Structure 1
Amino acid sequence: MIRRAACFAVFLSAAPTAHAASTFAFIGTAKAVNQQNVLYEELHRVTGACTNAGFEPAAHTVEYQKGPDNGRFAFKTLQYDEDPRRPSVDFRQPDFGERLEIRYPDSNYLTIDWQPPSDSRRSFRVRYDNRLVVDAGFDHFVRANWPAVKAGESLSFQFLAPTRGDHYGFVLEPAPAAKMDADVVVQIRPTSLVLRFLVDPIILGYNQSGALTHYQGLTNIRANGDTNYTADIRYRIIQYPDCDLTF
């Protein structure tokens, strides 16, 4: 990991200096749940602006690598053009021939273009409202509601399931702290009784600054052509922006 951090520091230093004061960068190490073998690493770099309200993201890149000596096997780019909770998404896993794009052609509908592994391309047009959270937008949803989250309140929202072409009711609520060693521990779970039998909660850990430090649950990285990894991911902060993360 020392070598990985050094390489990532070079990656950051190569970025335009105009963004140095508004960059948030961190590394995630994903392991199988209750196991020690490393599945992959995530290199995150979020650029944005420091405002009176706090850090507002503009763009987010993620590179997925098997280890420090291996090139990336998947990558994701997100653009926060309209709302931090609903980024546009371009995600690719070339080893499986998979690509997923989420766009917002107007204020009421989003489009999903998904090329799954070994199957025909699928497209969806989905109506949504202001309750919708998409992909990594959950992280900004947590920080935008930071006082309520720390106070242990439960927050309802809609979460996009892009490969199903629909969104479903979820709740963000306190989780048992014993499940994770973090300053603030919450979970995201579906509100539908049927979905609760099918979908396990995602457990999230944050530090006092509002930075994500732990993630446990289903990921978007494939173990094979049919299933995705369920992983325990620990995040290490490389660079904070020069302003508060939370609003």
Structure 2
Amino acid sequence: MKTVSVIALAGMALAAGPTMAATMIFTGTAKGAQGETLYQETHTATGSCIDGLFQPQSNQIDYRWPDRDEVFARKALEYPGSKLRPVVDFRQPEFSESLSIRYPESDVLVIDWQMPKGETRTFDVPYSSDVVVDAGFDNLVRKHWSQLIQGQSVEFRFLGPTRGEHYAFVLEPTESAEVGADYVFQIRPTGMVLSFLVDPIVLGYDENGALTDYLGLTNIRENADANYTAHIRYSVDNWPECELTP
């Protein structure tokens, strides 16, 4: 019986595939419309290599002004469930702002937003499997990598955390004079009203599936009433010992 148990366990391990810890470190430099450097961000994503693919478990993001080494804002992402919907903890002390997103139930997420002007808002938002939260868009791209690079599009719903609602969006290949990446995609709203109010986000990726460019509205405040719109260019400082895309 002991021999059979060992063989059975070995078979289960082989079926599950090899797993090992992995870390991906990448940095981004955000620039404004005139080419001025607005801020820099450092991402430390930890996870595992499972069956040859990197699976993120957390990402710590530190934001710094270009002329100072001090961290002025932080975001922590955790992926205990879906890779499309991380747990979010964002803080920008200069404006006394914080934002958290949690999932206390399987179909309801909770947003707690401490606004720059002192007011606090809480939203209970029902959600389904096609809802994407925050940086989950990056994993959405990799999940549908094959069809995107073949010219196909992906419909999904994107959470607007400060509005307490999610909206219909599409992820699709595009062209951009400003983003010269191996692959260029955009995220744009499909609803008529929202499409007039929200500009598309343009994304650049290299052939390995790493994000190289983000062009659009950011989560970093320019002032108490508006966030920066920026072109963020990314470079990888440490690659995981496995692939990012199938």
TM, length-normalised to structure 2: 0.90
Q: Deviations over 1:102-151 (max 9, x none)?
A: 00001100000000101310000000000000000000000111101111
Q: Structure 2 CA distance, aligned partners of 1:223 and 1:53? A: 40
1:177 CA displacement? 4.2
Q: Secondary structure at the match of 1:139?
A: helix
Identify which range, 48-57 or 85-94, moves more after superposition: 48-57
Q: Structure 2 CA distance, aligned partners of 1:140 and 1:229? A: 23
1:174 CA displacement? 1.1
2:27 is aligned with 1:27:
yes
Q: Deviations over 1:21-44 (max 9, x none)?
A: 5001100000003x2210000000
2:114 is aligned with 1:93:
no
Q: Deviations over 1:67-98 (max 9, x none)?
A: 26330100000000001110000000000000
Gaps of 5+ in 2: 1-19
Q: Structure 1 CA distance, aligned partners of 2:154 and 2:178? A: 20
Q: Deviations over 1:165-208 (max 9, x none)?
A: 00000000111143410000000000001111100000000000
1:53 CA displacement? 5.5
Q: Secondary structure at the match of 2:184?
A: strand
Larger radius of gyration: 2
2:122 is aligned with 1:123:
yes
| Partner residue in 2 for 1:41 | 40
| Partner residue in 1 for 2:107 | 108
Letter aligned with residue 28 of structure 1: G
1:58 CA displacement? 0.3
Q: Give the 5 Å matches for 1:1-247.
A: 22-33=22-33, 35-52=34-51, 54-67=53-66, 69-247=68-246
Q: Structure 2 CA distance, aligned partners of 1:86 and 1:225? A: 27
TM, length-normalised to structure 1: 0.90
Q: Which runs of 4+ in 1 moved over 4 A?
A: none
Q: Deviations over 1:216-236 (max 9, x none)?
A: 000000000000000000001
User: Using a 3 Å threshold, how does the CA distance of structure 1 residues 186 and 51 change in structure 2: closer, same or farther?
Assistant: same
Task: Confirm or deny: 8 A CA contact 1:21 1:242 kept in the other structure.
Answer: no
Letter aligned with residue 27 of structure 1: T
Q: Secondary structure at the match of 1:178?
A: coil
| Partner residue in 1 for 2:10 | none
Q: Secondary structure at the match of 1:208?
A: coil
Q: Structure 2 CA distance, aligned partners of 1:181 and 1:104? A: 37
Task: Confirm or deny: 8 A CA contact 2:52 2:242 kept in the other structure.
Answer: no
Matched residue count: 228
Matched-pair identity in %: 52
Q: Secondary structure at the match of 2:177?
A: helix
1:152 CA displacement? 1.1
Q: Structure 2 CA distance, aligned partners of 1:94 and 1:155? A: 36
Q: Structure 1 CA distance, aligned partners of 2:35 and 2:224? A: 24
Q: Structure 2 CA distance, aligned partners of 1:134 and 1:88? A: 9
Task: Confirm or deny: 8 A CA contact 2:58 2:76 kept in the other structure.
Answer: yes
